């Protein structure tokens, strides 16, 4: 996907979601649901204005950041090597944010569902997508596992991201499964995310020490 394609696609999705919120304005309560507990039950609210407009605004801001990154990174030539994968991730992330927005509007309209069961499988798919992108990512300052050790060595970067890719994909699968285990699945989810986030950091240091005894 080209930059032009992902920009147009993402903007159309954000505009469509915003229009849906505006059209539903008179049917939405004030305040609107804004937070759910581990059991998937509503336990927080926000004013209707922010309930309708906050998520589209945040999504638009993040889209702008993602589009700028390939142009401002000092190692942008490396980002160009996996820009196709990154572009697909951008659209997937926008879709993910708007999926959360759709769930929020649905909950505000009184549609009965368990947020945990509805959200975690999609979070798991996002983790899998992140893991896949990690496997393609080349050394840069914005995308991937950016430690002092990965940024100082192409070899450490590549080997760390091979491991990180597998761990994030595994965390994605665990996240999907945890959605159907109730509150007990929360601990499994936390463990999977912790392993995926911190093991690669430690591994990058170990690899760097081997290069620099």
Mean pLDDT of 7-27: 97
Beta bridge partners of 32: 46
If you average pLDDT over residues 156-171, what whole number do you get? 97
Is the torsion defined by CA of 159, 162, 165, 167 positive or negative?
negative
Contact 42, 36 (CB under 8 A): yes
- Decide if pLDDT at 184 tops 80: no
Nearest to 121 by CA among 181, 165, 62: 181
pLDDT of residue 213: 81
Q: Are 144 and 130 in contact (CB under 8 A)?
A: no
Q: What is the pLDDT at residue 206?
A: 97
pLDDT digits (tens, 9 = 90+) for 89-109: 999 999 999 999 999 999 999
> Tens of pLDDT along 100-145?
999 999 999 999 999 989 999 999 999 999 999 999 999 999 999 9
């Amino acid at each position: 996907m080209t930059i032009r394609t992902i920009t147009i696609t993402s903007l159309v999705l954000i505009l469509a979601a915003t229009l849906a919120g505006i059209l539903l304005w008179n049917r939405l309560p004030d305040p609107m649901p804004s937070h759910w507990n581990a059991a998937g039950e509503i336990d927080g609210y926000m004013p209707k204005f922010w309930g309708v407009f906050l998520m589209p605004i945040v999504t638009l801001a993040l889209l702008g950041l993602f589009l700028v990154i390939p142009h401002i990174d000092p190692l942008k030539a490396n980002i160009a090597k996996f820009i196709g994968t990154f572009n697909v991730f951008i659209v997937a992330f926008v879709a993910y944010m708007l999926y959360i927005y759709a769930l929020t509007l649905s909950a505000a309209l009184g549609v009965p569902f368990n947020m945990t069961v509805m959200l975690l499988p999609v979070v798991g798919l996002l983790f899998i997508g992140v893991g896949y992108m990690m496997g393609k990512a080349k050394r840069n300052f914005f995308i991937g596992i950016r430690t002092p050790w990965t940024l100082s060595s192409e070899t450490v970067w590549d080997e760390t991201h091979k491991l990180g890719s597998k761990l994030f994909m595994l965390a994605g699968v665990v996240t999907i499964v945890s959605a159907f285990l109730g509150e007990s699945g929360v601990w499994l989810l936390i463990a999977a995310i912790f392993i995926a986030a911190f093991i690669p950091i430690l591994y990058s240091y170990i690899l760097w020490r081997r290069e620099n005894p």
